[in-house]
Structure 1
Amino acid sequence: MDEFWVFGYGSLMWNPGFDYEMRVGALARGYRRSLCVRSFVHRGTPERPGLVLGLDRGGSCRGVAFRVADGKREAVLDYLRARELVTHVYLERQLSVLLEDGRPVRAVGYVVDRSHSQYGGALTVEEAARIVQVSHGQSGPNDAYVANTVAHLKEMGIRDHWLEGVAARVADLQARTVAVA
């Protein structure tokens, strides 16, 4: 049987929630990490949606690939589908990823559905920062989600300049809000 791999680009990288045999850095070409999913529950509300990560078309994305034992394939897929497909804003896909040792593999990944009502599109750093700064949902403030993501990526040695730019701009906006108050 072929090896079963899962590609993570967001919280799945540091909080996979499933058993795996190997965890290795990986690159998905043709996709980029983006705050392109409107969050109406966890990081926002229907009146003031927040933004969470999606894997969107274009560019490339450094993330993590997990090799899962053959006997755990179905259980891991069940878990991932329950976690990632709640509102069906993500589509389950077989992605071509390049492991850090240069080996190409196929990995299950969850890509944003651009036709879904939660798809927020390609935002500028400024647009994303203004949304993130003021949004709050059941899982907490949107700015904490972005700052936590950037911190985890840095710990893992992954630079995401666009996302880092959003976090920096949010901090600037918050500093100005405090200074005005």
Structure 2
Amino acid sequence: MSAQALPPPLRDPAPLLERTIAEWGGHEDLWLFGYGSLIWRPDFEFAERRAAQVLGWHRALKMWSRVNRGSPEVPGLVFGLLSGGSCRGVVFRIPASAGLETLGRLWLREMPTGVYDPRWLHCVTPGGPVRALAFTLSRKSPNFTGTLSDARYREIFATATGRYGSSLDYARQTFEELQRHGIHDAALARLMRLAALRDVDPR
């Protein structure tokens, strides 16, 4: 799908990138917090990867995707980092010399429509705390789904596909990668059980 086919931006992502670069400063290595597809498809070179946990935020499959994992006609789902609770994921250390290029590539991937709120979060790791950039989602965003019923999740898993594949494949890949890292996500595990039941749903 071409860039022209993307939905109109919710806001201009360029000032958000400029602000993030200024907050980082460029003098130290760049840390990034991954909680979804960044864990299994980072698309950048990194010098170090660690298990990490953030407090006050949690991973949730509650963000509409109308390009990557769905379409305008059949929206799919991707993960957002919502306020409340806690989240286990991984942090990546990017050498300072590669930080600007990495941020530029990340913005093309994660921020073409300016949907996320980039934030610097305190991450607890086995090697000590780090300050890492994370892509969070506001509940005020039009891409926030709100509460979805089990039936709606099953419907989306059965039908939604975008330029990178289906919502179900995305959720399953994330679930399997979390397991590989020894991370148990009870909410995602429940959704995977729902997906497994969709083929025997009597409706």
- Normalization by structure 2: what TM-score? 0.79
Segments of structure 1 that go 5 or more residues without pairing to the other structure are: none
Matching of residues 37-48 of structure 1 within 5 Å: 37-48=63-74
AA aligned opposite 2:170? Y
AA aligned opposite 2:64? R
Q: Select which of 151, 163, 169 maps to 2:188.
A: 163
Query: How many angstroms apart in 1 are the aligned matches of 2:147 and 2:56?
Result: 15
Structure 1 position 38, deviation (Å): 0.5
Query: How many angstroms apart in 2 are the aligned matches of 1:26 and 1:108?
Result: 12
AA aligned opposite 1:168? R
Q: Select which of 91, 106, 117 maps to 1:80.
A: 106
Q: Percent of aligned pairs with the same residue?
A: 36
Question: 1:54 matched to which residue of 2?
Answer: 80
Query: How many angstroms apart in 2 are the aligned matches of 1:60 and 1:123?
Result: 21
Question: 1:12 matched to which residue of 2?
Answer: 38
1:152 aligns with 2:192: no
1:50 and 1:142 in contact (8 A); partners too: yes
1:147 and 1:167 in contact (8 A); partners too: yes
Query: How many angstroms apart in 1 are the aligned matches of 2:96 and 2:115?
Result: 28
- Normalization by structure 1: what TM-score? 0.88
Q: Give the match's secondary structure for 1:149.
A: helix
Query: How many angstroms apart in 2 are the aligned matches of 1:27 and 1:159?
Result: 12
Q: Select which of 136, 153, 158 maps to 1:133.
A: 158
Structure 1 residues 48 and 167, CA, compared in 2 at 3 Å: closer, same or farther?
Answer: same
Structure 1 residues 153 and 124, CA, compared in 2 at 3 Å: closer, same or farther?
Answer: farther
Q: Select which of 109, 113, 117 maps to 1:91.
A: 117
RMSD: 1.9
Q: Deviations over 1:83-127 (max 9, x none)?
A: 1101211111111111133x2211011111333221112445554
Greater share of strand = 1
Structure 1 residues 80 and 28, CA, compared in 2 at 3 Å: closer, same or farther?
Answer: same
Question: 2:143 matched to which residue of 1?
Answer: 118
Stretch moving more, 58-67 or 149-158: 149-158
Query: How many angstroms apart in 2 are the aligned matches of 1:144 and 1:6?
Result: 24
Segments of structure 2 that go 5 or more residues without pairing to the other structure are: 1-26
1:89 and 1:119 in contact (8 A); partners too: no
The total of aligned residue pairs comes to: 177
Q: Select which of 35, 44, 69 maps to 2:95.
A: 69
Matching of residues 25-44 of structure 1 within 5 Å: 25-44=51-70
1:36 and 1:120 in contact (8 A); partners too: yes
